[in-house]
Amino acid sequence: MLTAFTCQAGHMVRLPDVEGLSSAIWIDLRDPTPEETRLVTEATGLHVPTKAEVSEIEASSRLVLRDGVLYLSMPLITMTDGPRVVSAGFVLSSERLVTVRFAVSVVFDEFAARLAAGSEAHESGAHVLIDILAAIVDRQADAMERIHAELDLISHRVFSLAGEGRAGRKMEDRLLRDTLGQLGRIGDLISHIRESLLGVTRLVPFIETNTTDWLPTELRPKLTTLRDDTASISDFDNHLTDKLQFLLDAALGFINIAQNDVMKVMTIASVVGIPPVLIAGVYGMNFKNIHEYDWAWGYQFGWALVILTTLIPLAIFRWRKWI
């Protein structure tokens, strides 16, 4: 899919067809076909990165300056089929910006919709790129805020298990299993956000360093603001990671406590059951010289011993506050 915008009277206007690609200051390619790639290359003279090229993880491959043109790539989060990371490519020259992505991105689609509405003015491809990066950072910050609120709810739910109004054992087990699943999903999302944020952090100084000759002066403060925003989000990311690890440890701790409770019950039952079993085994040997067999109250005597040897260990455990 190919979308192109040009600047007219200080506002971005979407080009209705591919005839005017040479005048476009932003060309957005999503899952481009070979024909679309060829049209953009012929109209702009710029190389359109392939999926393999934008997926490289080396910094030397993600940040390239070639003939005065910046070839950039960074991880981008897409919610298609669940949160996952895909790579997006940016080709920035003094005349225009070409973006290449291989998955649906809400950030790009919403930004393109705002441009089509004519609510924002962009005079160059650099303006578009900086505002796209700012939109990505804003979306990451919003996601962090939602994660923070969700972790607060999970924290309240987990530690309410130790309160007076405790749920049943089965309900607590189900709650802890669900909590571990939620924490795993949140941890996965945080790692994706961190990876995307790292991409923006690398892009900003590289753009600033290699566009000193032609980058509009009014964009310098925006780059500084973008750098500060990424630093603050990175600090908040560390806070969320610590809180996530704390809640994960707490959930596992409650699971261990539940397992210990089960083992304690089984241990007490086995210890308490040893003396009665021993007595029953002695009187079950059926030797003729067992005198209690001839007693009038021998059966009741045996039961009394069984009950007494059961209650004595229980009383000792209770006295030692083991139960």
Go through the domains of the chain in sequence order and give each one's CATH number.
Answer: 1-122 (3.30.460.20), 260-319 (1.20.58)
pTM of the model: 0.77
- Percentage of the residues of the chain whose pLDDT score is greater than 90: 4
Mean pLDDT of the chain: 83
Average pLDDT of the residues in 40-46: 85
CB 146 within 8 A of CB 240: no
Q: Which residue has the higher pLDDT, 117 or 190?
A: 190
What confidence score (pLDDT) does residue 50 get?
85
Give the pLDDT confidence of 82-93 residue by residue, as tens digits.
Answer: 777 888 899 988
Average pLDDT of the residues in 13-33: 81
What confidence score (pLDDT) does residue 168 get?
59
Q: Which of 127, 124, 130, 101 is nearest to 25 (CA)?
A: 124
What are the backbone angles phi and psi of residue 55, rounded to the nearest 5°?
A: -90, 0
SS3 of the chain: the string is CEEEEEEECCEEEECCCHHHHHHCCEEEEECCCHHHHHHHHHHHCCCCCCHHHHCCCCHHHHEEEECCEEEEEEEEEECCCCCEEEEEEEEECCCCEEEEECCCCHHHHHHHHHHHCCCCCCCCHHHHHHHHHHHHHHHHHHHHHHHHHHHHHHHHHHHHHHCCCCCCHHHHHHHHHHHHHHHHHHHHHHHHHHHHHHHHHHHHHHHHHHCCCCCCCCHHHHHHHHHHHHHHHHHHHHHHHHHHHHHHHHHHHHHHHHHHHHHHHHHHHHHHHHHHHHHHHHHCCCCCCCHHHHCCCHHHHHHHHHHHHHHHHHHHHHHCCCC
Average pLDDT of the residues in 111-127: 75
Q: Which of 3, 26, 240 is nearest to 141 (CA)?
A: 240
Average pLDDT of the residues in 147-168: 76
What confidence score (pLDDT) does residue 21 get?
79
Give the pLDDT confidence of 122-139 residue by residue, as tens digits.
Answer: 677 888 888 889 989 998
> In which residue are the tokens 């229980």 written?
314
Give the pLDDT confidence of 138-149 residue by residue, as tens digits.
Answer: 988 998 999 999
Range in 79-88, 103-112, 269-278 with the lowest mean pLDDT: 79-88
Give the pLDDT confidence of 185-242 residue by residue, as tens digits.
Answer: 888 888 888 888 888 888 888 888 888 888 888 888 888 898 899 888 889 989 999 9
CB 219 within 8 A of CB 169: no
